[in-house]
Amino acid sequence: MVKVELRNGESQQQLLRRFKKVVSRSGIKSAVRKKRWFVSKNEQRRLAKKKAIRRMKIRQHKKSTRSRRY
């Protein structure tokens, strides 16, 4: 649970901005989004594999474009 206390001389807008930062850094929003719907283990594995393939393609593309420059 995230707690943010009002500091001396701090406005409500600054407090809200600081709270949003703390929440985004803690990963609460992403966890809530992931748990919003049930995803089976098989589906999780399939999505992880798909993400890994995409990462590899991006890395290969970056690697090939770097070698062309020189």
pLDDT means per 10 residues, the chain with 70 residues, are: 90 95 90 90 96 96 76
- Rounded Cα distance between 15 and 7, Å, is 8
Give me the pLDDT at residue 34, please. Answer: 85
List C-alpha distances in Å: 46 to 15, 40, 51, 60, 65.
41, 10, 9, 21, 29
Domain ranges of the chain: 10-39, 42-70
Contact 29, 23 (CB under 8 A): yes
Contact 6, 15 (CB under 8 A): yes
